[in-house]
Amino acid sequence: MYKPPLADPEDQQISDGGIIEFTQNEVAEYICNMCYELAVMAKKANMPMLWYLLKLASAEANTNRRDADAMSH
């Protein structure tokens, strides 16, 4: 069975030894998209509280993405 590499938040490395390099904007965009997609799934599965929290997380990440993008210009 395939097991994806795990990220270690302490040293920013993937368990197979690869270095993780990313910008704040990239992370915020990824989290925004992922939370939005999970929110859609939660709504379809009739999980209103989870849907609400994921929508909040998506909005927060989107705000951080816009802020990071504005600061880079």
Q: What are φ and ψ of residue 18, in 5° steps? A: -75, 145
Q: Compute CA 63 distance to the chain's CA centroid, rounded to the nearest angstrom.
A: 13
Q: Is the model more confident about 58 or about 7? A: 58
Q: What is the domain count for the chain?
A: 1
- Judged against a pLDDT cut of 90, whether residue 3 lies above it is answered with no
Residue 23: helix, strand or coil by DSSP? coil
| CA dist., res. 57 & res. 22, Å (int) | 20
> Which residues, other chains included, contact 51 with Cβ-Cβ below 8 Å and sequence gap of 6+?
39, 42, 43
Residue 55: inside a domain, yes or no? yes
Residue 1: inside a domain, yes or no? no
pLDDT digits (tens, 9 = 90+) for 21-42: 788 899 899 999 999 999 999 9
- Whole-model pTM over 0.85: no
Residue 46: inside a domain, yes or no? yes
Residue 3: inside a domain, yes or no? no
Mean pLDDT of 6-33: 74
Domain membership of residue 39 as a residue range: 23-72
The structure tokens listed for 29 are: 């965009």
